[in-house]
Amino acid sequence: MILTGGKRTVRRSQKEQDQAQRQQLVAQPSVQRAILQMQQTMGNRSTARYLSAQLKNRSAAQAESAQAVVQRMILPIKASFPEMDRKKGSLSEGDKVIYDAIKKRSAVTNESIADPTDEASWIPWNNGALAAIGNEELRIFGHGARFANAEEVAQIDGHTPEQLAEKLINLGLPKKYAGVIYLSGCNTARGEKHGYLGKFYQLIKKHCKNVRVRGNLHSVITRMDGEQAYLDQTRFTINTYQQDKESIVSVERKRTMEAYDLLIQDYRKGTINKEEMEKQSKLLKQQAISDVNSAVSNHENDAYRTDGLVVELP
């Protein structure tokens, strides 16, 4: 390539052209946002290595899957995750459930969010949100809806099997994808081959023939450990589970208040000064939150089972 300016002619090597092209690509605002996301998710070193591998000796068009590495795995079907984060107080009860499920799952894994509603964030990335998914599990969060007392789910957050398959394909799900798509909503595997799961599998395997799909046979929650589970109704009802949970929380709070009262007494006796009292009070609060979460998690794991929940096709 020759650039001419006045009487001077500058010849740029292919290496220099590639470097300039990479700099131009990385300078774009959308790419900068992607890099920031990668740094937060993967760390600075891993991000640098990934970008180097993605951009080395490749054109800008070929390098446009760089953002997708941090936009994969968990796919909320309806609600926009960033918007949910800002507007949780105004969410419907149903969307709050999805929000909390995603947050719990994200807290215990390295999975990231692919948000199909935030289309502007993919410009100019034309490979789609799922283009760089590899063969990792794609976990889809959305409520399974049954109509007219039917056993089988008809929609997942308003999406029929046809609409969901079309959405994933439009989001760039590769034809070579050979991972598992997990429809993690309630009752998504009811009817198995003849229900939502089976219909969705028949449609999506036309696009990626080696794909597998999973669904749930029961109404589920997302436990604090991030796993999908269903209530053991041989031992609990929803009411008894909630009553036991409230009792556990009450006991933990009472124990914390007793410890706090002792702390105040020590301060009043002059055994500890104000600074030490405030320090220990802060530690006590942190420990109380941890203890409540641990107790609730143990109760949840005892009441909500995972065995026999998931059906996989084929």
310 by Cβ neighbours in 10 Å (0-12 / 13-18 / 19+) ranks as middle
- Helix, coil or strand: residue 4: strand
**Read out DSSP for 227-242?**
-EEEE-TTT--HHHHH
Contact 218, 187 (CB under 8 A): yes
Whether 249 shows a pLDDT value over 90: the answer reads yes
144-197: per-residue pLDDT in tens? Answer: 888 766 778 888 888 899 989 988 887 778 889 999 999 988 999 998 888 999
| Whole-number average pLDDT of the chain | 76
Q: What contacts 123, CB < 8 A, 6 or more positions away? A: 30
CA of residue 246 relative to chain centroid, distance: 28
Q: What is the pTM of this model?
A: 0.66
Contact 80, 113 (CB under 8 A): no
Mean pLDDT of 99-108: 79
Angstrom distance (rounded) from CA 36 to CA 44: 9
Look at residues 3, 14, 13, 117 and name the one whose alpha carbon lies nearest to residue 71: 117
272-296: per-residue pLDDT in tens? Answer: 999 999 999 999 999 999 999 999 9
Contact 155, 77 (CB under 8 A): no
Which residue do the tokens 């995603």 mark? 102
**Read out DSSP for 168-221?**
HHHTT--TT--SEEEE-STTTTTTGGGSHHHHHHHHHTTTSTT-EEEEESS--E
